[in-house]
Amino acid sequence: MRQGCYDYLCSGGFRTSGMMALLGGMNPRPISLIYHLCAITLSSIGHLLSPFPSPIRIWHSLRLFGLATKMLVPHLKAEGVSQMLFPVNAAAYRKSYMAATAL
């Protein structure tokens, strides 16, 4: 996963700027987190299977996919699936959250 993330960031362009916006807190859209995590995972799996897919490489790619799922599921549960995948619902959710936490 580390090598896949490094390769993903080294490619530059939208990949790098999008990840830096997420890490810097300048991109509030949670769907962007899902997009970049899936892209890094697919990049890592492609890196694992690139010369030729052997059974051990397929096993490692499945474990990598499971690791990415384990990282994504808690975020989906905490944020709410409908708020993350459907941005129309997210505005109402943020508005109610901000009203509830206001002093």
Statement: residue 103 has pLDDT above 60: no
Locate tokens 């499945």: which residue? 62
Contact (CB, 8 A) for 8 and 35: no
pLDDT digits (tens, 9 = 90+) for 44-95: 898 888 888 899 999 999 999 999 999 888 877 877 777 666 666 656 666 6
Sign of CA dihedral 5, 45, 1, 78: positive
Quick one: pLDDT at residue 83? 67
Question: What is d(CA 22, CA 37) in angstroms, rounded to the nearest whole number?
Answer: 11
pLDDT digits (tens, 9 = 90+) for 29-38: 777 888 888 8
Residue 53 domain boundaries: 2-101
Point out the least confidently predicted range of 7-16, 39-48, 59-68. Answer: 7-16
Number of structural domains (the chain) is 1
